[in-house]
Amino acid sequence: MIRQRTPFRVAAVQAAPVFLDRDATVARACDLIAEAARAGARLVVFPECFIPTYPFWVWFIPPYRTADLRALYAELLDNAVVVPGPVTERLGEAAREAGVHVVMGINEINVETSGTTLYNTLLFIDDTGRLLGKHRKLIPTAAERLVHGMGDGSTLGVYETPFGRLGGLICWEMYMPLARYALYGWGTEILVAPTWDRGEPWISTLRHTAKEGRVYVVGCCTAMHRNAIPDRYAFKQDFLPDVTWINPGDSAIVDPDGKFVVEPVRECETILYADLEPSRVTGPRFQLDVAGHYARPDIFELKIHCTPRPVLHVVDPKQEPPAKAVPTPVTPAEANGV
């Protein structure tokens, strides 16, 4: 792939989904992709679990309220995404029509086995509409484990694009030093960080990661007002009576020196834009390249297991050796001819 070492524009979409409505949220996402492209963006980043929503209710509803949690989980599952499938095809069409790369947060169905577990997943789509790959969050954080399964190393990676090497970590994966280092080692230049987190110290984490890896960091969060939740959901009245902004946002874009290109934006739905300069990645690595001259592989070693860890291993009976005959048990009397 030919690298274009010229400035390029990125967009961080700080918006709310159409709550628990996959098709309407996808339609909204496609409109936002087109809007960002008209503003000159070449990379458009969406928040964590944007389709059909981040399951924030796990932070409000007590875990013993299983009836409430089951009902919401069932609705979330009904509106979750199969990869690949109709949603990825529609997003690919939108990316191709707009001529942009897209990183999209989704709730993904584990169609490879039960079809009833969800993963917190990022989709990476290029400007031709091709699905480059996906990343499943390695560790759901605290209450998220009531909703999401754990990803494995097979979906951890970096993608070559015309404007640089693109990688992503989801929310508190940014607090996993070895996950960050893996992406640095693969040469990440633009690190997207879709999230539900906001405020301090999250914003400091975005800045630290940018400075540590000498990468651009695109922090992208949902801005969700209480009014975005339909009144038909009982938990809105039971557990959110005094909440105005369920999440204020705090999306931000940071340069490789750890300085804001776009400072955090709160309590509004908007698109953040920044023009990134590729030389701002390479220049600062003169002083610090943690996966290069600042590494000490003679002292520290990181092994990454990229083999999938499937639930089922189906063995072809034709490839199995023939079963050995098992002797029929006999009693001591029979053994002695009695």
Task: Please state the length of the chain.
Answer: 338
Beta strands 245-247; 216-221: pairing state = unpaired
Q: Determine the pLDDT at residue 320.
A: 59
Within a domain: 23: yes
Q: Determine the pLDDT at residue 314.
A: 82
Q: Determine the pLDDT at residue 185.
A: 97
Neighbouring CB atoms inside 10 A of 35's CB total: 15
Task: Name the token pair of 92.
Answer: 């690919």
Q: Residue 257 sits in which domain range?
A: 8-286
Residue 200 pairs in a beta bridge with none
Distances (CA, A) of 332 to 200, 329, 335, 338: 76, 10, 5, 9
From the candidates 49, 108, 134, 137, which is the catalytic residue? 137
Integer Cα distance of 89 and 95 in angstroms: 10
Q: Determine the pLDDT at residue 315.
A: 83
Residues of the chain with pLDDT under 70: 1-4, 317, 319-338
From the candidates 49, 171, 220, 221, which is the catalytic residue? 171
Catalytic residue check, 137: yes
Residue 107: phi, psi to the nearest 5?
Answer: -95, 115
CA dihedral 62, 25, 108, 58 (to 10 degrees): -10
Tens of pLDDT, residue by residue over 101-128, are 999 999 999 999 999 999 999 999 999 9
**CATH code (residue 153):** 3.60.110.10
Helices 22-38 and 86-98, axial angle in degrees (round to 10): 10
Within a domain: 185: yes
Within a domain: 22: yes
Within a domain: 333: no
Query: Cβ distance 213 to 192 under 8 Å?
Result: no
Q: How many domains does the chain have?
A: 1
Residue 262 pairs in a beta bridge with 253
Q: Determine the pLDDT at residue 1.
A: 63
pTM more than 0.75: yes
Within a domain: 250: yes
Q: List the Cα angle 229/37/159 in 5-degree steps.
A: 90
Catalytic residue check, 269: no
Within a domain: 312: no
Catalytic residue check, 306: no
Q: Determine the pLDDT at residue 325.
A: 46
Within a domain: 47: yes
Q: Determine the pLDDT at residue 258.
A: 98
Query: Cβ distance 175 to 327 under 8 Å?
Result: no
Within a domain: 323: no
Task: Name the token pair of 170.
Answer: 């989801």
